[in-house]
Structure 1
Amino acid sequence: MLPTEDQLLCSTSKFNLACDRLAARPGQPCLGMGRGLRILVSRLSFTHTRVDSLRTLPTSQMSLSEITPTLFLSGADGSLNQPLLRRKCITLIVNATVTHPCAAYPGVECVRVAVCDLPTARLADHFERVAERIHGNKTGGTLVHCVAGMSRSPALVMAYLMRYRGATLRRAHAWVRESRPCVRLNAGFWEQLLRYERRLYGENTVRVLAPLDDRAPPPPPATPRPTRSQREAAPTYGPPRAGPVLARPQRRTDASKSTRGGGARNPQVLNRFITTL
């Protein structure tokens, strides 16, 4: 059984540290963005964070990240700050969590996207619906949030930027990372965004440099076979190996022996030679 969001406790700073440690491992999946830029894909399956623990995070990560003057991105903490929402004129909240309650503020509409932060979650099923709601909100600003504001909500914002702002996936990712550097999408959401970009523009601006599969670990490196000299020089342990069994040659009988040079050894031949003289 998968743990719920309330059962998982990790701060955003700890999550970023874990991602950095995973990035140092060989075989870490990454995406090529051109000009030597690489995006490391987190192998962690969850970014769930208990909302109460978010109060200990730095103020910069608890605030709303401005993507456009009317579009903001944050974690669950951002939806709890009603004075800040009022100052930003937020009238629409997209809640991309499963269990976090929707904000019930006067004049604020809340749309839930109940998707877990798992590589197998079908977040792409909500790309069009969420993008249309963001684009159609003309009465004020829009806040898109998940639990940590690092995987689900950035993916939805990037899909909106591709759909209505004409941005490629490469540009949308740089756009979001510029405002919120802690963004870490899981491998499954990257695959869905790649398919969405190819459907919109017919090509991809991001190429996969390693398989985006969190379920299968990279195969171990092949061990080279030792050369003949290395095998001969290697020490052997235990009893010596038995060599091939060779059949002992049969001894020839006196009748089958050759008479060449053998007269002195064959008395019958010697006697016959003497009698002929």
Structure 2
Amino acid sequence: MDEDNKLQFPSLPATKEDLLDWAYPMRREMQEILPGLFLGPYSAAMKSKLPILQRHGVTHIVCVRQDIEANFIKPNFPHTFRYLVLDIADNPVENIIRFFPMVKGKDTCNSHFSCSECQVLVHGNAGISRSAALVIAYLMETFGMKYRDAFSHVQERRFCINPNVGFVHQLQEYEAIYLAKLTIKMMSPMQLGRSFSLQAGMPGSRKRSLEEDEDFGAMQVTAAQNG
């Protein structure tokens, strides 16, 4: 790819809050992952937490639940916040990649994370697997981060995150997917044709990079199974 067409990503912004020493009760609260982006459990979005949500200036809430959880995980403030409800099962065979575009796009009302004036809370039931995977994917695509780096950034702020085995593998695969999509979008028709004619020669360094991420994911899976 020409020098002028190399993918450019913004720098990862610093959060307003200092990193705190993790304590077990904090898993029941929301944490700021990026300025204006919070991750937490459903307990952080319950009716009793309205003053806290308003104090943090929350405007949008992404509610992640499976249909069978709808009776106890639900939008509690439909007239106060804008909601995006996603039907995702915390199951290793769930195709979570298909939901990533719903929280990343140009339309402020539909993309949620991308709104510079929005303060967004993303929650599932425990704020550990599904919602964490969505936030990790957003960091990867927005800031050009590898899975392991995005995972580490989120875990430093919400230590209890633990995407399930299937989500880990899909997040590792997503790196190649979003980079390919962005690259194709930036290429001219002539560059695109030349790229397709040369696509058989994939650099070994890229292969090694993917293998390293797979090793990191396998380590997480083993840790989760043992813990």
After superposition, residues 203-214 of structure 1 pair within 5 angstroms as: 203=206, 204=210, 206-208=213-215, 210=218
Cα distance change of structure 1 residues 68 and 211 upon mapping to structure 2, 3 Å threshold: closer
Question: Which amino acid is the alignment partner of residue 120 of structure 2?
Answer: T
Instruction: Give deviations 1:139-171, integer Å, cap 9, x for gaps.
Output: 331011100011000100001001112222111
Instruction: Give deviations 1:175-201, integer Å, cap 9, x for gaps.
Output: 000001111111110111111112234
Task: Say whether 1:113 aligns with 2:113.
Answer: no
2:59 pairs with one of 86, 91, 94:
91
Q: Is the 8 A contact 2:112 2:118 kept in 1?
A: no
Question: Which amino acid is the alignment partner of residue 159 of structure 1?
Answer: A
Structure 1 CA distance for aligned equivalents of residues 118 and 54 of structure 2: 10
Instruction: Give deviations 1:218-238, integer Å, cap 9, x for gaps.
Output: xxxxxxxxxxxxxxxxxxxxx
Structure 1 CA distance for aligned equivalents of residues 168 and 121 of structure 2: 22
Question: Which amino acid is the alignment partner of residue 213 of structure 2?
Answer: V
Structure 1 CA distance for aligned equivalents of residues 53 and 132 of structure 2: 19
Shift of 1:122: 1.2
2:77 pairs with one of 93, 104, 114:
104
Question: Which amino acid is the alignment partner of residue 119 of structure 1?
Answer: P
Q: Is the 8 A contact 1:131 1:159 kept in 2?
A: no
Structure 2 CA distance for aligned equivalents of residues 185 and 136 of structure 1: 22
Normalising by structure 1, we get a TM-score of 0.52
In our comparison, the structure showing a higher alpha carbon Rg is: 1
Shift of 1:58: 5.1
1:60 pairs with one of 11, 26, 44:
26
2:193 corresponds to = none
Number of residue equivalences: 158
Q: Is the 8 A contact 1:103 1:110 kept in 2?
A: no
Following TM superposition, where does structure 1 have runs of at least 4 consecutive aligned residues deviating by more than 6 angstroms?
Answer: 211-214
Cα distance change of structure 1 residues 172 and 195 upon mapping to structure 2, 3 Å threshold: same
Structure 1 vs Structure 2: percent identity of aligned residues?
29
Q: Is the 8 A contact 2:37 2:113 kept in 1?
A: no
**Which of 1 and 2 has higher RCO (CA within 8 Å, sep 6+)?**
2
Question: Which amino acid is the alignment partner of residue 149 of structure 2?
Answer: R
Cα distance change of structure 1 residues 211 and 180 upon mapping to structure 2, 3 Å threshold: closer
Normalising by structure 2, we get a TM-score of 0.63
2:150 corresponds to = 172
Superposed CA RMSD in Å reads 2.5
Shift of 1:212: 9.9
Structure 2: segments with no counterpart, 5+ residues: 1-22, 106-110, 181-205, 223-227
